[in-house]
Amino acid sequence: MINKCTASLAEAVADIFDGATVMIGGFGEAGSPIELIHALIDQGAKDLTVVNNNTGSGHVGLAALIANGQVRKMICSYPRTTGSEVFPALYRSNRIELELVPQGTLAERIRAGGAGIPAFYTATSVNTPLAEGKELRTISGREYVLEFGLQADFALIKCACADRHGNLTYNKTARNFAPIMAMAAQTTIVQTGALLDLGAIDAEAVVTPGIFVDRIVTVSDPAQESKLVAEGRRYP
């Protein structure tokens, strides 16, 4: 029998090791698996390379993971967001690495990583500083830059509904990076708002097929990052 449900958040993230590459879903707070991130803070793995579009806000969620000194390097497209204080301060004092990737290239690198495509050419960033040092190739008269697929040891993502096979659906724009990160990680860990019986998710409506998912934890009433930030909350 296949049952990917895990008893607790702590158990779900227990084997994340020092030096791991961890993809974390979310675009700003939408889709951010805040409870899984807090469990990773409790767990304490360090020297992590984290892939996320942003760098978190305030002192909860991803920003708290960074503030806790667990992240060696961020791979992201937009580290300077409203309410983002932790990353900018560390970056300015050279205490964290940044690999800046255009958002579409980041998405495609993750998708490629999950689909077994080691590299691809794209027109994005040609003739800009972000293409410096990269291989260029002219195809049908247009110049392209070579970008490599991106894989991870773990992905932490959030969804709206799951079943025990790991079939997932999402809520609106909280979907963002989750489906492709689920494909690109060796171990994909999901926090779901609801766990449904098999068959309750219409097969036509499944967004992430269960094959891409390894562990599921139910968090039926997830915290809202912007609310925690507004209240001045810190984790831990």
Partner 1 sequence: MTDHNQPSLGWSREELARRVAVDIPDGSYVNLGIGLPERVARFVPEGREVIYHTENGLLGMGPPPAKGQEDPELINAGKKMVTAIAGASFFHQADSFAMIRGQHIDICVLGAMQISEKGDLANWSTGAPGDIPSVGGAMDLVAGVKTIYVITQHCTKTGEPKLVENCLYPLTGKSVVNRIYSDLAVIEVTPQGFRLVELAPGVTIDDVRRRTAAKLLPPG
- Per CB under 8 A, residues contacting partner 1 are 27-31, 53, 77-82, 87-88, 91-92, 98, 100-108, 110-111, 122-130, 170-180, 207, 224, 226
Give the span between the Cα atoms of 203 and 215, in whole angstroms. Answer: 20
CB 21 within 8 A of CB 45: no
Q: Which residues of 78-90 are buried (b: 16+ CB within 10 A; e: fewer)?
A: bbebebbebbeeb
Q: Which is nearer to partner 1, 6 or 84 (CB)?
A: 84
CB of 6 or CB of 166, closer to partner 1 = 166
124 vs 218, which CB is nearer to partner 1? 124
Nearer to partner 1, 45 or 61 (CB): 61
Q: How far is the CB of 18 from partner 1 (least distance, A)?
A: 27
Closest by Cα among 191, 153, 183, 177 to 12: 191
Closest CB 16 distance from partner 1, rounded Å: 23
Q: What are phi and psi of 129, to 5 degrees?
A: -60, -25
The minimum distance between CB 2 and partner 1, in angstroms, equals: 24
Distance from chain centroid for Cα 66: 14
Comparing CB distances to partner 1, the nearer of 142 and 234 is 142
Closest approach of partner 1 to the CB of residue 33, in Å? 13
- Residue 76 CA to residue 56 CA, distance in Å, equals 11
Please, what is the minimum distance in Å from the beta carbon of residue 3 to partner 1? 26
